[in-house]
Structure 1
């Protein structure tokens, strides 16, 4: 059984009469790269701030490393590195000097740790360059480097690729992907872009309007984008009842079309014959292929939730 690194129970945050995060149960296991996905304003940053003890939940519990955050905040946070929104630096110091300042604040004795981190985040050749002359991507990598300096067991990153160009996004992505194997770190990363999470994470939680609407391994989400058969008939509800009596798993989409997640030719032929023998008018049969982005949009706009 895998060790739970983050576990929340009915985690809720309300501001006056507005519920920003609504009773979510997050589960992150050791070694995961957990993609916390959702549209802007879905509740991602509020959740992350609660996980880091920056704001108090209205309701619910948070466990990190198996301990209650409310009772062990300082001990837990010593083992957590984080980057929330845009990192702040001493602009007139070099990358090395910024890390040295943090090293002293954290009372880390090993000075060689700085060069190790600079090498990990790909800034060793730019360590003597003033941070004010760094590109946005370099600043984000330095921010991750600062989060890694204290040798955390958990790294929490809130939208670390925001505002980056494609090259910068790829650099951050490749850096994050190697952290679990390089340092044994568990990573939780938030984003509103599914394609980024798909290329990094092994587990995904999707939040929308404060509700956790999906949480599972990334392979489960990918399977949902497999081709499926759509059938349009004159009486979809009768057709669904007929086919369900045959033990077939048939759903209806928002257009009242039959949806079948199997694409076997013999099965489709049987279904078509069955419907026509039942004196239903068969208008159209076609194969639909959906991307992961389509799945994400369906989930976050409450479309076809029942057939997922």
Structure 2
């Protein structure tokens, strides 16, 4: 993997209060990186610093090797971004908005505008005035604007906000396509954890302005231990047997759930059979990103008010 965005001990202090506290992480080309955190944790503040909308108190952010603090124009030239809601000229058509923005970058031809319009699914409405667009359509137009200059880094704050389920899926699939085929680094902040799970390769979790963890999505969700559901009779005997072995056991609709490593399952089965417990089925209970996110953020304490 080739790093293209790097945050180095970034800290942000506002009126004596530390909002972002010494966070560091790297985003690579060709990956979709999810930036997660509870409301007020510092996601948008970090993104605003990454695109130069907010100053950095200490530390630095580099994009394609250029420092946001020292070489701002060069650094942001590699970036396309939507921070919070995309702002457009509502009295103009979507197409005229794109033409206007294209004049800010050399080399954007009419063919490129038509290409991004088709990619974001606005072909039928692109010549309508933006004031007639729904929020989801404005999100699509904002994404088209970001892509006009073929950025190496795409930074999106809540990109699926206002989209219907079909639109969310289209944007998700398109962002994956950009990362895979154009080798683009895509950084996404969202509160829709189920979408992030399907979209992202890695995630970084921020809590109280501090970076809690950065992991591959699969490794973060499953971790070292998994949860298995045992369909057993009698369940109280099974619970006692496994708890006596120091295992974490809870009741479930069909029996009990036990936190185990995969290689520990056969030993647990032997213990239950030895105790004359009848086993009718065993299945791995699948955790979601939402489950693990809530576990991690609750372990780290309440969010900053």
Shift of 1:151: 1.3
Shift of 1:227: 2.4
Distance, in Å, in 1 between the alignment partners of 2:10 and 2:191 is 21
Distance of aligned partners of 1:232 and 1:140 in 2 relative to their CA distance in 1, 3 Å threshold: same
Distance, in Å, in 2 between the alignment partners of 1:288 and 1:191 is 25
Q: Which consecutive unaligned segments of at least 5 residues does structure 2 have? A: 231-237, 251-256, 276-282
Cα deviation digits, residues 74-114 of structure 1 (max 9, x gap)? 01111111000101111121111110011112243522211
Distance, in Å, in 1 between the alignment partners of 2:18 and 2:249 is 31
Match of 1:262 in 2: 262
Distance, in Å, in 1 between the alignment partners of 2:8 and 2:272 is 47
Alignment of 1:149 with 2:137, yes or no, is: no
How many residues were matched structurally?
Answer: 281
Distance of aligned partners of 1:78 and 1:290 in 2 relative to their CA distance in 1, 3 Å threshold: closer
Distance of aligned partners of 1:217 and 1:288 in 2 relative to their CA distance in 1, 3 Å threshold: closer
Distance, in Å, in 2 between the alignment partners of 1:200 and 1:153 is 18
Match of 1:91 in 2: 90
Q: Report if aligned partners of 2:226, 2:259 keep a CA contact under 8 Å in 1.
A: no
Cα deviation digits, residues 141-186 of structure 1 (max 9, x gap)? 1001101111111110011122333233223222222212343321
Match of 1:295 in 2: 292
Shift of 1:121: 1.1
Distance of aligned partners of 1:209 and 1:93 in 2 relative to their CA distance in 1, 3 Å threshold: same
Shift of 1:269: 4.4
Distance of aligned partners of 1:267 and 1:303 in 2 relative to their CA distance in 1, 3 Å threshold: farther
Within a 5 Å distance, the mapping from 1:239-254 to structure 2 comes to none
Distance of aligned partners of 1:214 and 1:94 in 2 relative to their CA distance in 1, 3 Å threshold: same
Distance, in Å, in 2 between the alignment partners of 1:3 and 1:252 is 43
SS at match of 1:216: strand
SS at match of 1:126: coil
